[in-house]
Structure 1
């Protein structure tokens, strides 16, 4: 199996590159703001599967730039999935917990009703709908709170802030599952292989367990990193952002375990890998 990956500098794309057997395309080679060009790449590829690990991920900026976010996160995956379906190529689309409205306190199942709270979530949902409508072999893999040793993410931000501050306030009323990008990358390849071998695919969830708050995630980071920074939990109302975040980002991952024998990963183990890599 040879895999064409859209994305090269993102967190999941960099982890995919480490696993081998993939060709990662950067923005100069595949600009998702040009969906037709991305579709043309798939129409002419010699790869046997396609993973879209590229996205517009600036959640707050998307509130004022929704048209571009929708093109990159919605229209591009739709065009790519159609091109893949025309050739019978397995297509993996990485999506997000932000397609849900964050109500309640129960984990969201893959078939739960979607109702995004912000522009980023709306753009990703359009991508999901387009991939399904293409009717090719596909998996939409929703994940949450992605972290790694690459790029900008919560783990690296907390470590940076702790270098100069001994106390931090962190939101405590948003609950979800931090997910190591390395786990997402490995699962994507497993799913691509399964689709190649005839699995019907569908929509699945992958998030790290156990579910936690941002404040407790920060405490876990500092505990593993040996930092003395103290964390005070605050409500979301005390930390307003342009884009509204879902309070409940818990994802039900049982169907992934049932259909692919992929257990829910422990984010604390992923954090150990990331901290070791950052230290080295």
Structure 2
């Protein structure tokens, strides 16, 4: 199925979910990478997941900060809980990327329900790991009187907002999109990659040779020679020689010599010599 057909078959909830997912990803990248997870109440220290900054007040109220990477070295002893927060944040970042990949695939490449379910699962895991990271960071930062020294800052609150968006908006949209897309495919009778989809009150796709399901584009298909189903693009087909279907363009066609169907373009045909169809002018 083409990109346009897959996009039109996907439900609007999935399409809105893709937009929400993009915004969520951008917010998380900012919170994940910047140095505003915590700052000291004196304003002299700023902490991120990857850097720590020492700041001093300059002239005219300006502030100058010198940042250094938070890596294990002689003057920096990085605690295990900080490493755990980092690990959870990185895993969540990967899950968000996989969520975006599966969501785009489900909208443009394939209508397999497993891809939509995978995007939902990846979104849940991403939210769970971000939640673990922010809870662990807050608990350990304020442990032992740390709340008298530090306050949380914008990067932390961005990641908190991302968690809320994932669980309150994104996941419900992806779930509704999956359910509605599945129902829509069943309603229009699309069989994709050999899977027959049916729903109560709707007619399932016809079967071709050996009971295999063949996808259709827009209109129902007819059965040709030996029961093999031939798809058509816009108009019903007629039966010609040996029951093989021949497409027509706009008006019903007449049958030519030996029962072979001759298509016409604009007007009903007149019959000429030996029953051949001649296009009327």
Task: Give the TM-score normalised by structure 1.
Answer: 0.25
Task: Give the TM-score normalised by structure 2.
Answer: 0.25
Q: Which has the higher contact order (CA 8 A, sep 6+)?
A: 1
